[in-house]
Chains A and B, each alone.
Chain A
Amino acid sequence: GQQVMQIPQYQHVQEGEDFTTYCNSSTTLSNIQWYKQRPGGHPVFLIQLVKSGEVKKQKRLTFQFGEAKKNSSLHITATQTTDVGTYFCAGFSGAGSYQLTFGKGTKLSVIP
């Protein structure tokens, strides 16, 4: 079945430093989604990427979708304590597929 791998599993950064998490799929994805889960909370949708090579920005967050639609990244510039949480990527294996598979997530800690 489809596998979505995410690295690193944990990342500790000093406040103000940048942060990047990477996501790789064993199969081509029709689209990829990113979610954030705050400690004690539930995952909340951040963004969806659809096109090959697509780049989207949300303030300090930059999301990229690979040319082959098998990998993606999330980059946070100048982290803040409010960025703390676990970031997940998730993908559907093909158009019309309903099976949404998540990566294991990257847990971000920000040291003030």
Chain B
Amino acid sequence: DGGITQSPKYLFRKEGQNVTLSCEQNLNHDAMYWYRQDPGQGLRLIYYSQIVNDFQKGDIAEGYSVSREKKESFPLTVTSAQKNPTAFYLCASSSTKTGMLNTEAFFGQGTRLTVV
């Protein structure tokens, strides 16, 4: 069954701790994305990656880090430097080919992170 999987669905952490959110896709997509969603704020881009071992900062990258060691995986670490980490985090992937337009983004089910 092809798709994009985020785990866990709900995550609780104590303030000051780093936490890593998992995102795996078996769609053979090159591009992967992390978004943060807060009520009334829409989807804000944290990081994105076009290919393995390469990633770019989005609009709100401060306090977050990512890696892209494998095409299938794009984990997001929420560090203790992130001032307000409680949010709904969405991972997405899309397929692109050189010279062609970007295609639709497929989203995971999301991880709701609560920091107490």
Contact = CB atoms under 8 A, between A and B. Distances in A.
Interface of A: 1, 6, 9, 30-31, 33, 35, 42-45, 48, 50, 88, 90, 92, 95, 97-105
Contact of B102 (A6, A9, A92): A92
B43 A88 contact: yes
Q: Which of A45, A48, A50, A103 has the most CB of B within 10 A?
A: A45
A103 B42 contact: yes
Interface residues of B, number: 28
A31 B101 contact: yes
Contact of B90 (A30, A31, A43): A43
Interface of B: 31, 33, 35, 40-45, 48, 50, 56, 58-59, 90, 92, 94, 96, 101-110
A33 B41 contact: no
16 contacts: A9-B40, A33-B104, A43-B105, A45-B104, A45-B106, A48-B101, A50-B101, A88-B43, A90-B43, A92-B101, A98-B102, A100-B45, A100-B48, A100-B102, A102-B43, A102-B45
B108 to A, nearest CB: 7
Contacts of B102: 30-31, 92, 97-98, 100
Contact of B101 (A1, A30, A103): A30
Nearest to A105: B42
A42 B90 contact: yes
